[in-house]
Amino acid sequence: SDILTSQFPYFEDPIDLVNAVISVLATPEEVTNVSLNFANDKNSASEVQAYAKISGNSWTYYVKQLSVSIGRNTESAVGPANVDLVDIDLGPAKVVSRAHAAINYNLSTRVWELVVSGRNGAKVDGNRVGINEPTALHSGAIVDIGSTQMMFILPDLTPTIAPPVLAQLAPRLGPPHKKTANSMRSGMMKGNHYNPLLMKGFQLFAKGNAAANTSSIDQDLSRDESKDTKPPYSYATMITQSILSNPEGALSLSEIYEWISSRYAFYRHSKTGWQNSIRHNLSLNKAFEKVPRKPNEPGKGMKWQISDSYKEEFLNKLEDGSLSKARRGSSVSRQLQLHLSNHNHLPGEKK
């Protein structure tokens, strides 16, 4: 981000530069349906729960599922009975195929990817991508399909704009007038120009609704029909989720297995020995520790909790602000943050 602002010193904040780039992204001569359906003036400036967002010159699409289809809806396919409508409709121009591309979350590599099937192809950061060859998308990647450019943005990573793309757009990025800069900072830009609120106003989980959002996604993954869909969570994340679900913040190994099985159909039906991976994670990850059961508590064996030293370190980093400087910490600390944002305390603590 320092490189960005040094190349364009009149942008005091990298976020301002990102929004300026979005405001000059290419658009085709014919107005696209996506620019009408998801126009910025239709989007609320309040926080939105989304995995990511895709921003065009004057529109924003919030990614709320693990796969987003891009293409062209035909006029005859608009009826309510049709279930094959694409999410991002770049029509009516026929240079875009009906099912042109998709942006998918790769559950194995945990990376968002663009897969193109349309005959006229696509570009990412100015480079043409192969047909049916998954191309990883970083936060700030600019996708070009049918003369429509759009930026892919993740909520917890500052967008990085490729230098060749910046060089291409530089002539259109002239210095903003002071009045414009002040308007940007106050979020009062009019028309279809860049608005910092559209950049800053979305998170992976909106404050106060974290539990509701995770449960709505996970409810789908708990159904038997989702048995082939691997949850987009690491073992450490799922262990932390299970432990935090208990008011005392401690579960036995069998209770952790049971929680994961009931929450995620993939593991309920899996024969791959995922329990061994859970056991190894508990033993090797310093974030977890064994604790004895309380006196007179039924059952046998020790329980597992988030270690006191890890929680203390997490709370210290949260207090001094250093936690947010490293991609919001590990998968364990991220779950602790989500729990705190919703409940204002951790399990086992006094409210």
> What phi and psi, each to the nearest 5 degrees, are found at residue 201?
-90, 30
Whether the pLDDT of residue 303 is over 50: the answer is: yes
How do residues 142-200 score in pLDDT, each as one tens digit?
Answer: 999 999 999 999 876 778 889 888 888 888 876 544 333 333 333 323 333 333 333 33
The length of the chain is 351
Q: What is the DSSP string of 190-204?
A: -TTS--HHHHHSEES
Contact 273, 212 (CB under 8 A): no
How do residues 114-158 score in pLDDT, each as one tens digit?
Answer: 999 999 999 999 999 999 999 999 999 999 999 999 999 987 677
In which band, very low, low, confident or very high, does the pLDDT at 328 lie, cut at 50, 70 and 90? very low
Contact 306, 240 (CB under 8 A): yes
Q: Give kind and range of the element (H or E) at residue 102.
A: strand 99-106
Burial code (b: 16+ CB inside 10 Å, e: under 16) for 60-93 equals: bbbbbeeebbbbbbeeeeeeeeeeeebbbbbbeb
Domain end (from 161, 178, 203): 203
- Pick from 29-33, 39-43, 301-305: least confident: 39-43
Residue 182, in any domain of the structure = yes
Q: Give kind and range of the element (H or E) at residue 56.
A: none
Q: How far is CA 60 from CA 22, 51, 53, 146, 288, in A?
A: 10, 13, 7, 17, 40
Q: Are residues 302 and 332 in the same domain?
A: yes
Q: Token digits for 227? A: 């048995």
Q: Are residues 154 and 229 in the same domain?
A: no
The total domain count for the chain is: 2
Contact 93, 30 (CB under 8 A): yes
In which band, very low, low, confident or very high, does the pLDDT at 231 lie, cut at 50, 70 and 90? confident
Cα 305–chain centre separation = 28
Domain span at 306: 210-343
Q: Are residues 117 and 260 in the same domain?
A: no
Residue 350, in any domain of the structure = no
For the whole model, what pTM was predicted? 0.53
Residue 25, in any domain of the structure = yes
Residue 234, in any domain of the structure = yes
CATH code of the domain covering residue 190: 2.60.200.20
Q: Are residues 182 and 308 in the same domain?
A: no
Residue 181, in any domain of the structure = yes
